[in-house]
Amino acid sequence: DVKVTQSSRYLVKRTGEKVFLECVQDMDHENMFWYRQDPGLGLRLIYFSYDVKMKEKGDIPEGYSVSREKKERFSLILESASTNQTSMYLCASSLRGGTQETQYFGPGTRLLVL
Amino acid sequence: QKEVEQNSGPLSVPEGAIASLNCTYSDRGSQSFFWYRQYSGKSPELIMFIYSNGDKEDGRFTAQLNKASQYVSLLIRDSQPSDSATYLCAVRNPYNFNKFYFGSGTKLNVKP
């Protein structure tokens, strides 16, 4: 059974703070993803990683950075949190390639920036 | 134009009826399509995927793909109140298989 876990379910931070969101998967997947989900906008890709230390920008990378030092762990970093980064953050993982490979999602982190 | 478009709903159907959820996509080169269900406050979970034209059935769920018209549908037969959720359509980027585009989802309410 694929398991993707995220470090926090709920997080409250102040504007300007540095925020770390951690994601861990236990299925030896090559690919890992960070999305944010906002009402009416759906899921938007922030960054993804296709291998250790490799990353690629998604559709909305501004204000975010990522780190992947180990295959099973993918971190999202908000260098200086702002109120417009209040959102639900979802981590996902998948095997690389193949038309049928899908993504498996973690439970999500609901971040509130005050 | 968004890559994937869905009617946000809500779509209300009575228990036992067929619920029909639709999704259109913009890139004619797209090949792989996925339907996810997301309960309120939870993360998306895969229901099924389809990549060939026509119908694909899995229990009460049927995915339909029409590449010529660039739409994909999900039919839920014998709808149950437990099917009430938001349904997300996702399309794999045909030029970068590692990336997916998601629609904003259709909220389905099944009334007992």
Per-residue pLDDT tens digits for A73-105: 999 999 999 999 999 999 999 887 655 677 899
- Residues of chain B with Cβ-Cβ distance to A42 below 8 Å are 4, 88, 102-105
Q: Which residues of B fall below an 8 Å CB-CB distance to A?
A: 4, 8, 31-32, 34, 42-46, 49, 51, 88, 90, 92, 97-100, 102-105
State the average pLDDT over residues A33-56.
Answer: 92
| A39 pLDDT above the threshold of 90 | no
| B8 pLDDT above the threshold of 60 | yes
- For residue A110, report the phi and psi dihedrals to the nearest 5 degrees: -95, 110
pLDDT of residue B80: 97
Query: Given the structure tokens 């998948």, which residue do they identify?
Result: A94
pLDDT of residue A100: 60
- Residues of chain A with Cβ-Cβ distance to B32 below 8 Å are 99-100
Give the Cα separation of B6 and B72 in Å (integer): 10
pLDDT tens digits for range B16-50: 999 999 999 999 999 899 999 999 989 999 999 99
Q: Inter-chain contact B98–A103, Cβ cutoff 8 Å? A: no
- What band does B94 get if pLDDT is binned at 50, 70 and 90? confident
- What band does A2 get if pLDDT is binned at 50, 70 and 90? low
| Chain mean pLDDT for chain B | 93
Give the Cα separation of B74 and B87 in Å (integer): 9
pLDDT of residue A96: 77
pLDDT of residue B103: 92
pLDDT of residue A23: 97
Give the Cα separation of B89 and B106 in Å (integer): 9
Give the Cα separation of B60 and B68 in Å (integer): 26
The closest CB to that of A99, out of B46, B92, B102, belongs to B92
pLDDT of residue A1: 67
Give the Cα separation of A15 and B26 in Å (integer): 37
- What band does B9 get if pLDDT is binned at 50, 70 and 90? confident
Q: Which two tokens stand for residue A92?
A: 């996902």
Give the Cα separation of B112 and B100 in Å (integer): 35
